Chain A
């Protein structure tokens, strides 16, 4: 069965800190890895990664995929209280182009 594991499960930091969230996967026929931010509403799409070693960047957030290590990291620099959320990692794999397998998420709390 496909598996996605995120670490840490939760993290508390102060504003201005830099954080690194981890996602590792064991799946058959990997296609892509996605990061979402979940506040008290819809999971919001952040990044889709398909190629190893190519960093995707959006403002203070960046992410990179390592297909050799079967993992990805999500970096957030100069954190703000608005970054507090659950960050979800999902992998598209197998014979389908739509069935996402999600990790349990990392709960990030940024204190002022």
Chain B
């Protein structure tokens, strides 16, 4: 059973470009979470999605950031007009497919995408 897959592993963008980060959850998992890890900081929750639904985006910056989890295909975290401060590691996690997460559900993480903005 493959784990959580993320690609690309490394992404370099110039200021003003767009960054698209992809995440495929573990088989059988229907809940996807995105976290951001800035240098010298802990991972910070950004958004929680189920198929075709954004459930909680309270950790997402108000502008330039968006996320989706379509019926088919991976979840996408999209950052428009990137700035240097967006440079970070972006991790995706998934948890088992109950209707809603339970406090005993473990989140399994992907290897992350390291975004560098020049």
Binding site for B on A (CB under 8 A): 4, 31-32, 34, 36, 41-45, 48, 50, 88, 90, 92, 96-105
* Interchain nearest-CB distance for A67 vs B (Å): 14
Known: A45-B108, A99-B45. A31 touches B103 (CB 8 A): yes
Judging by beta carbons under 8 Å apart, are A36 and B103 in contact?
Answer: no
Main secondary structure of the interface of B (DSSP, over half): loop
* Interchain nearest-CB distance for B104 vs A (Å): 7
Judging by beta carbons under 8 Å apart, are A103 and B42 in contact?
Answer: yes
Known: A42-B4, A45-B106. A98 touches B42 (CB 8 A): no
Judging by beta carbons under 8 Å apart, are A99 and B106 in contact?
Answer: no
Chain A-chain B contacts (Cβ-Cβ < 8 Å), number: 67
Chain B interface category by residue count: 20 to 34
Q: Which residues of B contact A102 (CB under 8 A)?
A: 35, 42-44
Binding site for A on B (CB under 8 A): 3-4, 31, 33, 35, 40-45, 48, 56, 58-59, 91, 95, 100-112
Judging by beta carbons under 8 Å apart, are A97 and B105 in contact?
Answer: yes
Q: Which residues of A contact B44 (CB under 8 A)?
A: 102
Known: A36-B109, A42-B109, A99-B48. A92 touches B103 (CB 8 A): yes
Judging by beta carbons under 8 Å apart, are B106 and A48 in contact?
Answer: yes
Judging by beta carbons under 8 Å apart, are A98 and B109 in contact?
Answer: no
